[in-house]
Structure 1
């Protein structure tokens, strides 16, 4: 099978107070699904807006920071995980020469078995603003392709509308990075949007884990969503199950 991974190319995020906050893609949210997909024997392509090389959020490869983005009592494998994230990122050629989302055609999208949108706060800065990405997603939806998103990857869904001007995921059960989790980041109160609030406003039936930072994955029809970085493995495994259903 062939999977398209879409990810942010933004290296910073413009905050409400004017700061250009260092950002990018979140390592775990790319590396863990990518590793699961390739281990299952699938071909993976990576695409970004403009075909720009994505930048990893440095905090996502800092073992001293990773303890803050997993649930209390979870195994401390932060040093080993950070090293693995760096190893995979440095040895994945698709990250060095990604496809340009704008270059993808309807026929290109038809050739993929599924589409996965990786996360990171940088996604807020470019994914919801891309008309080309919205078109790629519309083509995928029209062909009933399985779609998965994690954490802030859901921002790619915000601008979508159908022919009646409605959000195509209205009424869907889904999860995403929660407001509770945003409130404990250094950007609390300064973000351009709160994803939980935006999805709810558009008509999603939002849900989250009982414990902050815990893994939570939701499947509704052809859409699979994950809440946060710690959800990446469960999301990837669930998405592979969806792909196997055809």
Structure 2
């Protein structure tokens, strides 16, 4: 079985005050699902807009920062986790030579069993702006492929519309990085969009964990969504269950 992992190629995020803020993909949101997918015997391809090698957000491999993006009372394994994220990223060839989203065709999508969109604030900068990615996801929906997104990976869904101009996920239950979580980042008040607000505006039935940074995963039809980095493990495990059901 094959899984296509879509990632941001942006290394910075243009904020409302004009700052080009260092960003990229969030390490946990790629590494944890990637390890689970491959351990389950799946082949994993990586695709980015333009086929550019993705850049890891350095704060996502900084043990001093990781303690702020997990639930209170969760195990302190930040040093070991950061080291493992770096090891996997450095030894995953798909990250060095990703597929260009623009090169994918309908027949290519038919070869994948599912699509997973990884996150990181960098995703805001390129995923919702790619017409080609929107087309890839339309093909996946038309072929009834299971989709999964985590955290800011949901930005890839924002530009989708059906033949009548409606958002295809209107009325779906889903979760994503919450406004409360955005408010405790150093980009609060400066982001180009607030994902919770955008999804709700489009018609999602948004839900979240009771406490910020807690794991929360929602499945509605063929869409599996995870709230934040700490949700990556549960999201990947749930997605694997969805793939096993065909």
TM over 0.5, yes or no? yes
Match of 1:75 in 2: 75
In 2: Cα distance, 1:22 partner to 1:239 partner: 30
> Does 2:88 align with 1:105?
no
Over the residues paired in the alignment, what is the CA RMSD in angstroms?
A: 0.2
What SS does the corresponding residue of 1:13 show, helix, strand or coil?
strand
TM, length-normalised to structure 2:
1.00
Match of 2:16 in 1: 16
Deviating beyond 2 angstroms after TM superposition, the runs of 4 or more aligned structure 1 residues are none
What SS does the corresponding residue of 1:166 show, helix, strand or coil?
coil
Quote how far apart the aligned CAs of 1:23 are. Answer: 0.0
Match of 2:63 in 1: 63
In 2: Cα distance, 1:237 partner to 1:59 partner: 25
> Does 2:135 align with 1:116?
no
For 1:21-60, what aligned pairs fall within 5 Å after superposition?
Answer: 21-60=21-60
What SS does the corresponding residue of 1:68 show, helix, strand or coil?
coil
Match of 2:88 in 1: 88
Quote how far apart the aligned CAs of 1:7 are. Answer: 0.2
In 2: Cα distance, 1:77 partner to 1:146 partner: 32
In 2: Cα distance, 1:222 partner to 1:145 partner: 7
In 1: Cα distance, 2:15 partner to 2:94 partner: 29
In 2: Cα distance, 1:182 partner to 1:55 partner: 21
Quote how far apart the aligned CAs of 1:177 are. Answer: 0.1
- Structure 2: 5+ residue runs without aligned partners? none
Matched residue count: 246
What SS does the corresponding residue of 1:69 show, helix, strand or coil?
coil
In 2: Cα distance, 1:50 partner to 1:23 partner: 17
In 2: Cα distance, 1:103 partner to 1:51 partner: 9
TM, length-normalised to structure 1:
1.00
In 2: Cα distance, 1:152 partner to 1:62 partner: 19
In 2: Cα distance, 1:216 partner to 1:31 partner: 18
Match of 1:241 in 2: 241
